[in-house]
């Protein structure tokens, strides 16, 4: 029996930036911004006590979305991110292979209220087309970023 499995890669996560976005402009002029989001979850343990656990997720944005992220977001900014998971692999300076799974963001909704009293959160994020094949699928990790 041949089972047809759909190919779905979709992520939706909310949280706060752990630091200011790191930005770069590639030689082609394409903007890229990377940041990490902390998403908190509360639950009761076996003793009925409330516990909190935090999931830290790396996020990459490209082009106009990266420019908006760089200009609008900062450490602590609350966001809602929609995207897909991507696997990135590179060789560190000492020659060891490194890898990570990160979110390739298609939209980033800034949840912080801006402007006058009573204004609603600014959904400044927008869907972005995927990076073209001639551009790298992620930032250069040759500096061996620890995680």
Q: What is the CATH number of the domain that holds 65?
A: 2.40.50.140
Total number of domains in the chain:
1
DSSP per-residue string spanning 83-127 = EEEEEEEEE-TTS-EEEEEEEEEEEEEE-S--SSTTPPP------
83-112 residue pLDDT tens: 999 999 999 999 999 999 999 999 999 997
Residue 133 lies in a domain: no
Checking if the pLDDT of 135 tops 60, the result is: no
Structural domain including 65 reads 11-110
In a domain, 128, yes or no: no
Query: What's the rounded Cα separation, in Å, for the pair 109 and 116?
Result: 19
User: Tell me, what DSSP letter sits at residue 2?
Assistant: P
Span 38-82, pLDDT tens digits: 999 999 999 999 999 999 999 999 999 999 999 999 999 999 999
What's this model's pTM, rounded to 2 decimal places?
A: 0.70
The answer as to whether 141 is a domain residue is no
Return the number of other C-beta atoms located less than 10 Å from residue 16's C-beta.
18
Tokens matching residue 44 = 């009761």
pLDDT at 6 over 60: yes
Torsion sign over Cα 95, 97, 101, 103:
positive
Owner of token pair 């992620």? 138
The answer as to whether 74 is a domain residue is yes
């Amino acid at each position: 029996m041949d089972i047809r499995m759909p190919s779905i890669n979709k992520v939706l996560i909310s949280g706060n930036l752990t630091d200011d976005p790191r930005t770069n402009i590639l030689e082609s002029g394409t903007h890229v911004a990377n940041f990490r989001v902390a998403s908190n979850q509360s639950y009761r343990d076996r003793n009925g006590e409330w516990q909190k656990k935090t999931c830290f997720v790396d996020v990459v944005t490209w082009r106009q979305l990266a420019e908006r992220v760089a200009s609008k977001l900062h450490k602590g900014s609350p966001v809602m991110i929609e995207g897909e998971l991507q696997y990135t692999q590179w060789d560190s300076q000492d020659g060891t292979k490194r890898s990570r799974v990160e979110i390739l963001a298609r939209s980033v909704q800034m949840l912080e209220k801006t402007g006058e009293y009573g204004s609603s959160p600014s959904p400044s994020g927008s869907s972005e087309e995927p990076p073209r094949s001639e551009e790298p699928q992620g930032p250069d990790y040759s500096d061996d970023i620890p995680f």
